A and B are shown apart, each in its own frame.
Chain A
C-alpha cells in the first residue's frame, strides 16, 4: 500500500513539474516564474546563500541587540518573559482544538480525491489500510507545508534554533493537528451515532476550557488575578500576568500537550531540541493511537467531501465563484425601476451579491460606534492612551484598504468576466458597462474609508499638554491644524477625494482583467498555481502600485500649485486655499477617471475572450 502511495505521489509530482516547465514556453508564465523566483531569492534565500553575508550567530546577536534596544524603549519584553511565545502558541493550539470540537459538523471523512476514491475504495484494501494511506499522505503534505512555513518563521526574531529545527517543529505541529482533526471526526461520528447531540457536545466542550480558566483564576492570589489597564509598563505587566496564568494549574495541564508539541520549534539549540523531541513524539504517538483505535465508517463522508472539493476546483478553473451558488434570495439594497441610468442597475445587481448587512444602516451604526468610542476614551483618563493609537491605526488601515481593498472588493467586471458574452449583448456603450460594474466596489470601499477618516478625525484631539514635546512654533502650528474647524475641513476635503481615488485604484485590476484576460484568468486558478502564478500576482500588485503613483502625481501637483497660488499670489485665507486645492485635485482625478473609463470601455467593446483565452 505504501509503495502504491509513493508511486502515485512521486509520479504525480514528476508530471506536475514537467507540465509547469513546459508551460514556461508561454511568455506570461515565463515572466511570472522569473519574478516569482526573484521574489523568493531576494526575500528568503539570498541571506542563506550569501558568501560574505553575516553568519546565523551574527544575525541572532544583531537581533538580540535590537531586542534589547526595543526593550529599553519599552516596546519589547525583558528576557525573563522569553517563554511568552511558547505560551501563546500553546493557547493558540488549544483554541484550534476547542474550535474544532465545537464547530465540526462533518461526519467522519478523509481527504481523498475523487480519483483516489474511484481507484482505492473498490480495491482490496482494508479500512485501516486506507486510513494509513491517508495518514502517510498527510505527512508528505505536512512536510511541504513545514518547509514553506520555515521560510517565514526563519525571520522571526523571537525564535532561536536553526531552520532545520523550525522545519521539523512545523512538521510535528501540522502532523499533530491533522491527526487530531482526523481522530476528532471519528470520535464525533461515534458520539453522534450513540445519540450524543451536537449542542450538548458543544456546550460540554466549551465548558471545559472556561471552567479550567475560571478555576485557575480562582486559585491565584487575589493580587495576581487581574491586571491594571492603567499600569505604567502595561505590556510587561500583561506578559507577567499571562505567563503566571498559563503556568498555573489546572490551566497548565490543559496547555501541556501543546507546549510539548511546540518544544522542538522553540528550542534554542540542538541539545534543547533533542530533549524536547521526546515529549512531542509522545503527543503524536498518543494521537496516532487514538486515531487507529477510533476508526469508523468514513467512506460516505469522504465521497461527499471529495465531490465538494472537486466542485470548488472546477468553479475556480472556469472563473466562477467558489463553491455552490446561494439558494435563498434577499431583499434588494434599493428599489430599481425600469427607467433611469442603466449603470445603477449594475450597482444594484452587484450590491445584491455582497453581504446583506452591508447597508446604510450598518454604516450609520459604525459611525456612531466610532464617535462614541472616541468620546468615551477621551473622558476616561486611564484609557486616554487608546486615543493615541486610535487615529494612527485608522490611518494605517485606511492606507491598507486603499491598497488591498480593490483586490478584496471584486464585485465588478472581474467577477462578471465569465458573463462577458451576456454583458456584450446589452445595448450600452462599453464605458457605461465598465462604470456600472465598478460602482459597487467604489461604494463599499468609499464607505469603509469614510468610516476610517471619521475615526482619524475624532481621534486626533490633542490633550492640554500632549504636544509639549514640540517647539513652541511647531506646537502652535500643530494645534492650529488639529483645531476642530481645520480637522473638519481637512476631513471633508479628503472625504470628497476618496471616491475618485478608490475608482482609480479599481481601474488597475479591472484594466488587467480586460487588457490581459489570459493572465488574469491564470492568476485566478487554484490548484494549478505555482511560482509562475505567484510571480504574475506580484506583477499585478506592483503594476497597481505604480499606476496609482503615476495617477496621483498630476493631481497632487495640481493641488499643491493651486494652494501655493492661492496663498502667495492671491493672499486668500488658508481655508479657501485648501478648498481650491482639493477642487483642483478632484478635477484632475475626474479627468483621469474619464480617460480611463473611455479606454476601458473601448477595450471592453473590442475584447474577444474566446480569442484571448486561447493563448
Chain B
C-alpha cells in the first residue's frame, strides 16, 4: 500500500514535484508517465526514500518514509533503470550480501528458486563484469525480490532489454502484482505499460495531470471516442509537448 499526500520536491528554486497526492493498493500496477523532465524519477526516488521530500507525506505499507524509514524500506524494493551492482560480488554473493542487510535468515532456500525463475542460476558464480545487460538487470531484480517486498518501484524497467526480456519482465511484474504486491513503474513505452498497468498517473512539469484506473483516465481524455490508446491519452493530457 502506498499513500502519498501533498508531496513536493524542490531543487533550489526549481520545483521538480509539486503537490502530488495519490494512493496505490495491493495488487495494483500503477504506471507513472509524463514527458521528459516531468518529475517521474524524482517522484520514484522520493517514494523509495532515496532522496528526502521537501514537504508532504509518503507512507509505505503503513510506515511514514520520513519518520520511520527503516520499517518503510523493509517493505519496499527499488529497481533503477540502470542496474547498480557491486563489481567484486558474484551473483550468489550479491544475494548473500542483501540477505544480511534485510535479515533474511533462510536466504539460501529462497535464492535458488529465484535464480532459476530469473534464469540466472547457471551464472551464480559469475561477477557482474561477465554478465550481459539483461543478466545484470535480472540480478538486480533477484536482489530486490529476495526479502519479498510488499511495494516495488521500477524506474524504466524495460530499458535495454531485448523483446524476450521485455516479455519476461512484464510477466514477472504481473506475477508479483497478482501475489499482492503494490507496484509503481515509470516508462516511456506506453503501449507496453498499457499491457501491464491497471492504473496510471500522468505527470507534467512536476504536477499531476490525471490519475486513476486506465478506464477512468481514458474516459477523462477520450472525448467520447472508443478504444483510445494510452499514447493518445498521454498526448491529449500533456498537450503534446514537454512545456
A-side residues, CB < 8 A to B, are 321, 324-330, 332, 336-340, 342, 344-345, 348-349, 352-353, 418-419, 421-422, 424-429, 605-606, 608, 610-611, 614
Contacts and interface: CB of A to CB of B under 8 A. Distances in A.
A24 to B, nearest CB: 21
Contacts of B102: 426-427
Given A338-B105, A419-B86, A425-B77, A614 B11 contact: yes
B97 interface: yes
B93 A421 contact: no
Does more than half of chain B's interface fall in helix, strand or loop, or is it mixed?
Answer: mixed
Contacts of B84: 418-419, 421-422
B100 A345 contact: yes
Interface residues of B, number: 44
Contacts of A348: 97, 100
A445 to B, nearest CB: 19
A329 B73 contact: no
A614 B13 CA distance: 13
Nearest to A348: B97
Interface in B52-88: 52, 69-74, 76-78, 80, 84, 86-88
Contact of A353 (B76, B87, B103): B87
Contact of A426 (B99, B101, B125, B129): B101
Contact of B97 (A329, A345, A606): A345
Given A330-B88, A338-B106, 18 more contacts: A324-B129, A327-B126, A329-B89, A332-B93, A332-B96, A338-B96, A345-B100, A349-B93, A353-B87, A419-B84, A421-B84, A422-B78, A427-B70, A427-B72, A605-B52, A610-B45, A610-B51, A614-B11
Nearest to A342: B101
A386 to B, nearest CB: 39
A136 B84 CA distance: 43
Nearest to A324: B129
Contacts of A327: 126-127, 129-130
B6 interface: no
Contact of A352 (B72, B88, B106): B88
A611 B13 CA distance: 12
Given A328-B127, A426-B101, A608-B51, A336 B96 contact: yes
A425 B73 contact: yes
A426 B48 CA distance: 10
Contacts of B70: 427-429
Contact of B49 (A339, A340, A424, A614): A424
Contact of A421 (B80, B128, B130): B80
Contact of B127 (A326, A340, A424): A326
B104 interface: yes
Given A427-B74, A611-B11, A421 B101 contact: no
A340 B74 CA distance: 16
Interface string B90-130: 10010011011111111110000000000000000111111
> Which of A336, A338, A339 counts the most chain B CB atoms within 10 A?
A338
B140 to A, nearest CB: 9
B50 interface: yes
A104 B45 CA distance: 48
> Which of A332, A337, A419, A422 counts the most chain B CB atoms within 10 A?
A422
Contacts of A424: 48-51
Q: Which 7 A-B pairs have the closest CB atoms?
A: A325-B129, A329-B90, A345-B100, A427-B73, A353-B88, A427-B74, A338-B99
B152 to A, nearest CB: 11
A326 B103 contact: no
Contacts of A326: 87-88, 127, 129
A196 to B, nearest CB: 33
A422 B80 CA distance: 8
A590 to B, nearest CB: 24
10 contacts: A330-B88, A337-B100, A337-B105, A345-B97, A421-B45, A421-B50, A424-B49, A424-B51, A426-B102, A608-B51
